[in-house]
Structure 1
Amino acid sequence: MNKTLKTILIVAVIIGVAVLLIFRSDLIGQAIAALAGGFAAFKAKLFNSSKIDVEGEIEAIESEHESKRKNWQLIRDEYDSKFNALKARMDYLDYKSALISKQLGKLDVSEKEALKKNADLSDDELLDWLRN
Structure 2
Amino acid sequence: MSKTLKYILIGGFVLGIIALFVFSDKVSLGPIIAGIAGLFATIKSRLIHAEPLSERVEAIESEHGIKRQEWNQVKEEYDSKFKAIKARMDYLDYRSAKISDQIGDLDEAERKAIEANNDLTDDEILERLNNL
Q: Same fold (TM over 0.5)?
A: yes
- Cα distance in 2 between the residues matched to 1:63 and 1:42: 33
Aligned to 2:65: 66
Counterpart CA distance in 1 for 2:122 and 2:30 is: 97
1:93 is matched with which residue? 92
Classify the secondary structure of the residue corresponding to 2:26: helix
Distance in structure 2 (CA, Å) of the matches to 1:79 and 1:49: 48
Superposed CA RMSD: 2.8
Residues in 2 aligned to 1:41 and 1:73: alpha-carbon distance in whole angstroms: 44
Unpaired runs of at least 5, structure 2? 1-17
2-structure distance, mates of 1:71, 1:49: 36
Q: Secondary structure of the equivalent of 1:47? A: helix
Within 5 Å, which residues of 2 pair with 1:115-126?
A: 115-126=114-125
Larger RCO of the pair (alpha carbons < 8 Å, separation 6+): 2
Residue 38 of structure 1 and its aligned partner are, at CA, apart by 3.2
Q: Indicate the residue corresponding to 1:103 in structure 2.
A: 102
User: In structure 1, how many angstroms separate the alpha carbons of the residues matched to 2:126 and 2:38?
Assistant: 93
Q: Deviations along 1:72-125, whole A, 9 cap, x unmatched?
A: 111111111111111111111111100000110000000000011111111221
- The residue type equivalent to 2:105 in the other structure is K
What SS is found at the alignment partner of 1:63? helix
Structure 1: gaps (5+ residues): 1-8, 22-27
Deviations 1:14-33 (Å, cap 9, x if unpaired)? x72xx237xxxxxx7xx956
> Number of aligned pairs?
111
Q: 1:1-132 maps to which residues of 2 (within 5 A)?
A: 12=21, 16=24, 19-20=25-26, 35=32, 38-49=35-46, 51-53=49-51, 54-132=53-131
% same residue = 45
Letter in 2 for 1:91: D
Range 61-70 or range 105-114, more displaced: 61-70
